Amino acid sequence: MAKDSSVIELIFPIANQIHFNCVKKEFEKHGFNTKSHPPLLFILHDEIAGKKASQKELSYILGIKPSTFAVLIKRIEKAELIEKVPDENDLRCNVITPTDKGKKLVNESANIFSTIDKKMYQGFTEKEKA
């Protein structure tokens, strides 16, 4: 018989895939996909909230090359989820901020994640969840 840790190691990838599929299905019901809710929006909403962040700083946080990040920014900006605003202190630099549409998408996404998580852990004790 396998050790408990071996069983857990087998279950996690399966549970992760089920979670991903549930999220994808719920997102499709709401009319957006994984490309329309990039981690950038969550970083702007949660980590950077109220602070200024340049394109260079955000690419570093996400661990994406600046050139790749520039393409990502253009796609998200075209979807009207973020906007570039000139930095008040340095006009050579743009600050990336979420639009109202981007903020709404983050909130809707967070609600979807929360609902799925509640359903996935339904029936588990606190000890089992831990």
Residue 30: pLDDT band with limits 50, 70, 90: confident
What DSSP character marks residue 14? H
Instruction: Report whether 97 contacts 82 (CB < 8 A).
Output: yes
Give Rg (Cα) of the chain.
18
Q: Are strands 82-86 and 94-98 parallel, antiparallel or unpaired?
A: antiparallel
Q: What is the pLDDT of residue 33?
A: 61
Average pLDDT over residues 12-19: 86
pLDDT over threshold 50, residue 1: no
CA–CA dist 114, 16 (Å, integer): 15
pLDDT over threshold 80, residue 95: yes
Q: What is the pLDDT of residue 35?
A: 60
Domain-by-domain residue ranges, the chain?
Answer: 36-117
Average pLDDT over residues 11-35: 80
Average pLDDT over residues 66-85: 87
Average pLDDT over residues 87-107: 85
Q: What is the CATH number of domain 36-117?
A: 1.10.10.10
Query: What are the two backbone dihedrals, phi and then psi, of residue 86, each rounded to the nearest 5 degrees?
Result: -60, 135
Q: What is the pLDDT of residue 110?
A: 84
Residue 43: pLDDT band with limits 50, 70, 90: confident
pLDDT over threshold 80, residue 66: yes
Percent of the chain past pLDDT 70, that is, above it, reads 88
Of 53, 28, 23, whose CA–CA distance to 41 is shortest? 53
- Give DSSP secondary structure letters for 34-97: GGGS-HHHHIIIIISTTS--BHHHHHHHHT--HHHHHHHHHHHHHTTSEEEEE-SS-TTSEEEE
When mean pLDDT is compared across 1-5, 36-40, 98-102, 112-116, the lowest value belongs to: 1-5
Instruction: Report whether 62 contacts 43 (CB < 8 A).
Output: yes
